Structure 1
Amino acid sequence: MTDSQVLDEFRASDALLEGHFILSSGRHSPVFLQKMLVFQYPDRTERLCRALADKIRAEFGKVDLIVSPAMGGIIPGYETARALGCPAVFVEREEGEFRLRRGFRIPDGARVVMVEDIVTTGLSSRECIAAIRKHSANLIGAACLIDRSNGRADIGVPLVALVRLDVPDYPADDLPPELAALPAEKPGSRDLKA
Structure 2
Amino acid sequence: MSWSLQEAIGRTGVLKEGHFLLSSGRHSARYMQCAQLLQHPQDAGEAGRAIAELFRGEAIDVVVGPALGGVIIAHEVARALGVRCLFTERKEGTMEMRRGFAVKPGERVLVIEDVVTTGGSVNEVIALLNGMEAQIVAVGSIVDRTGGHNPFPCPYRALTAIDIQSYTPDECPLCQAGIPVEKPGSRTPAKSVE
TM-score normalised over the length of structure 1: 0.89
* Counterparts of 1:57 and 1:149, CA distance in 2: 23
Q: Secondary structure at the match of 2:56?
A: helix
Aligned partner of 1:91 among 84, 88, 91: 88
- The residue aligned with 2:164 is 167
Runs of 4+ in 1 over 6 A off after TM superposition: none
Secondary structure (helix, strand or coil) at the match of 1:128 reads helix
Is 2:76 the partner of 1:106?
no
- Contact map agreement 1:119 1:144 (CA 8 A) in 2: yes
- Aligned with 2:134 (options 132, 137, 141): 137
2:174, 2:182 → 1: CA distance?
A: 16
Q: Percent identity?
A: 39
Shift of 1:95: 3.0
Question: 1:134 corresponds to which letter in structure 2?
Answer: G
Residue among 115, 120, 124 paired with 1:127: 124
State the shift of 1:20 in Å.
1.3
Q: Where does structure 2 lack aligned partners over 5 or more consecutive residues?
A: 190-194
Count of matched residue pairs: 188
Unaligned runs of 5+ in 1: none
SS of 2:69's partner is: coil
Provide the residue aligned with 1:36 in structure 2: 35
Shift of residue 55 of structure 1?
0.6
**2:133, 2:170 → 1: CA distance?**
42
Please state how far the C-alpha of 1:7 moved relative to its aligned partner: 2.6
SS across alignment from 2:115 = strand
Q: Match of 1:13, as an amino acid?
A: T
Any conservation in 1 of the 2:150–2:156 contact (CA below 8 Å)? no
The letter for the 2-side match of 1:7 is Q
User: Are 1:48 and 2:74 matched, yes or no?
Assistant: no
SS of the residue aligned with 1:132? Answer: helix
TM superposition score normalised by structure 2: 0.89
Work out whether 1:27 is the aligned partner of 2:34.
no
Rounded Cα–Cα distance in structure 2 between residues aligned with 1:7 and 1:170: 26
Q: Distance in 1 between matches of 2:5 and 2:176?
A: 26
1:85 is displaced (CA, Å) by 0.6
How much does 1:153 deviate?
A: 4.8
Aligned to 2:9: 10
- Match of 2:131, SS state, is coil
3-state SS of paired residue (2:47): helix
